[in-house]
């Protein structure tokens, strides 16, 4: 079903738009921003190879990998005490962009700390392959976005503005698909406008209503750096201006590629730039995100999506993941994403370090 709200790799999608991760190659050495490369100092052989799986061509075509065992020397911290998953064999998956690789590692390492043997099948291209892996039982769980499920998988044309109600609707609809959604995180990976600290201090804008008020009182003060696609979509600039009553003439809207938007906004070439709320460059470039106080943009809150049969067999999964998910918000995501996309760190090691720093697990 085609709707006005689609994503590619959980970046907003259409011809010519980036997939989330900004086109970085994630095979072999997996190059990231600035030409850096990282490789896990552990056995990851076979991650790039397509697996032969029971769901056939769909999963193979979407890049489900043969995977490799996670071999982290970790133990229980605040989660996993008594190793409730001891003897369990679980498979985790994810999509291929930075945030998903980190989240997939977080889930897998948490299961390891609770005693499970974990097969790592993270890094599947696109959304459908990872989703079908969990649905079919080829994988036991992943972190997924409520907006992706509601619109892309469940075929709804409009989002639900209340994030809790959207999660409930997604959870209820997926019960018939053999998928159980656990409690969601505050982390919401969607559109936003951001400004640099100098402009935030100068104009005092904290949310999109403030930006709208500024556009009406001082039209020349508001200029926007946006992608061409965002500028023309009803779920982008067109709809945002209408929802907030913004008065921004076309001459004040500067169209450019996504990667340039962050740097130009940081330099002050435009007052506000279009960003994704969990992008690590927000933190790295010290940008200030404007709150969407009228909840115009769709919600893409992350939550564990678990194969129902796996959860019934291992109900301890819920108690292991709930406290971890509760700690995930946009600030945490920006910090972790920046470690990979700005600093060039390994997503798995970033996930491991965070879990240890939060006291969820210990290093053996």
**180 and 71 assigned to the same domain:** yes
Q: What per-residue confidence (pLDDT) applies to 86?
A: 98
Q: What per-residue confidence (pLDDT) applies to 10?
A: 52
Q: What is the pLDDT along the chain (364 residues), one digit of tens a residue?
A: 333 444 444 543 332 222 333 332 222 233 233 322 333 333 222 323 333 333 344 444 444 556 899 999 999 999 999 999 999 999 999 999 999 999 999 999 999 999 999 999 999 988 899 999 999 999 999 999 999 999 889 999 888 999 999 999 999 999 999 999 999 999 999 999 999 999 999 999 999 999 999 999 999 999 999 999 889 877 789 999 999 999 999 999 999 998 899 999 999 999 999 999 999 999 999 999 999 999 999 999 999 999 999 999 999 999 999 999 999 999 999 999 999 999 999 999 999 999 999 999 999 8
Domain that residue 216 falls in = 191-289
**69 and 218 assigned to the same domain:** no
Please say which residue of 289, 312, 346 terminates a domain. Answer: 289
The answer to whether residue 264 sits within a structural domain is: yes
**75 and 119 assigned to the same domain:** yes
**305 and 257 assigned to the same domain:** no
Q: What per-residue confidence (pLDDT) applies to 157?
A: 82
The three state secondary structure string of the chain is CCCCCCEECCEECCCCCCCCCCCCCCCCCCECHHHCECCCCCCCCCCCCECCCCCCHHHHHCCCECCEECCCCEEECCCCCCCCCCCCEEEEEEECCHHHHHHHHHHHHHHHHCCCEEEEEEEECCCHHHHHHHHHCCCCEEEEEHHHHHHHHCCCCCCCCCHHHHHHHHHHHHHHHCEEECCCCCCECCEEEEECHHHHHHHCCCEHHHHHHHHHHCHHHCCEEECHHHHHCCCCHHHHHHHHCCCCCHHHEEECCHHHHHHHHHHCCCCEEEEECCCHHHHHCCCEECECCCCCCCCCEEEEEEEHHHHHHCCHHHHHHHHHHHCCCHHHHHHHHHHHHCCCCCHHHHHHHHHHHCCCEEEC
What's the CATH number where 201 sits? Answer: 3.40.190.120
For the chain, what is the domain count?
2
**91 and 223 assigned to the same domain:** no
Tens-place pLDDT, residues 17-48: 223 333 322 222 332 333 223 333 332 223 23
**143 and 39 assigned to the same domain:** yes
Instruction: Give the global pTM.
Output: 0.81
**36 and 168 assigned to the same domain:** yes
**184 and 327 assigned to the same domain:** yes
**184 and 260 assigned to the same domain:** no
The answer to whether residue 43 sits within a structural domain is: yes
**141 and 113 assigned to the same domain:** yes
What's the CATH number where 337 sits? Answer: 3.40.190.10
The answer to whether residue 294 sits within a structural domain is: no
Please say which residue of 289, 308, 327 terminates a domain. Answer: 289
The answer to whether residue 295 sits within a structural domain is: no
**114 and 177 assigned to the same domain:** yes
Tens-place pLDDT, residues 77-115: 999 999 999 999 999 999 999 999 999 999 999 999 999
Please say which residue of 289, 309, 335 terminates a domain. Answer: 289
The answer to whether residue 322 sits within a structural domain is: yes
**105 and 161 assigned to the same domain:** yes
The answer to whether residue 177 sits within a structural domain is: yes
The answer to whether residue 2 sits within a structural domain is: no
The answer to whether residue 1 sits within a structural domain is: no
């Amino acid at each position: 079903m085609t709707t006005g709200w689609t994503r590619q790799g959980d970046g907003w999608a259409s011809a010519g738009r980036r997939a989330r991760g900004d086109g970085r190659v994630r095979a072999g050495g997996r190059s990231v921003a600035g030409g850096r490369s990282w490789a896990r100092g552990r056995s990851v052989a076979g991650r790039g190879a397509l697996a032969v799986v029971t769901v056939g061509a769909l999963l193979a075509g979407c890049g489900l990998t043969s995977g490799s065992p996670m071999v982290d020397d970790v133990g229980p911290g605040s989660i996993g005490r008594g190793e409730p998953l001891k003897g369990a064999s679980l498979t985790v998956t994810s999509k291929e962009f930075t945030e998903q690789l980190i989240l997939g590692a977080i889930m897998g390492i948490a299961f390891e700390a609770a005693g499970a043997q974990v097969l790592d099948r993270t890094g599947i291209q696109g959304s459908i392959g990872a989703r079908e892996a969990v649905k079919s039982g080829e994988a036991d769980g992943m972190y997924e976005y409520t907006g992706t499920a509601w619109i892309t998988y469940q075929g709804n044309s409009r989002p639900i503005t209340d994030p809790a109600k959207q999660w409930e609707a997604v959870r209820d609809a997926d019960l018939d698909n053999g998928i159980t959604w656990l409690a969601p995180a505050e982390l919401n990976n969607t559109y936003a406008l951001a400004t640099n600290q100098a402009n935030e201090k100068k104009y005092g804008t904290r949310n999109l209503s403030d930006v709208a008020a500024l556009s009406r009182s001082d039209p020349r003060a508001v200029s926007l750096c946006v992608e061409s696609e965002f500028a023309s979509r009803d779920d982008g600039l067109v709809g945002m201006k209408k929802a907030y009553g913004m008065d921004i003439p076309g001459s004040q809207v500067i169209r450019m590629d996504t990667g340039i938007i962050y740097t130009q906004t940081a330099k002050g070439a435009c007052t506000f730039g279009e960003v994704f709320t969990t992008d690590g460059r927000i933190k790295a470039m010290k940008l200030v995100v404007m709150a969407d106080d009228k909840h115009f943009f769709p919600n893409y809150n992350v939550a564990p999506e678990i194969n129902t049969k796996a959860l019934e067999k291992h109900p301890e999964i819920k108690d292991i993941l709930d406290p971890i998910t509760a700690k995930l918000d946009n600030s945490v995501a920006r910090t972790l994403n920046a470690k990979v996309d700005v600093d060039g760190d390994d997503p798995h090691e970033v996930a491991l370090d965070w879990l240890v720093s939060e006291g969820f697990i210990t290093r053996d």
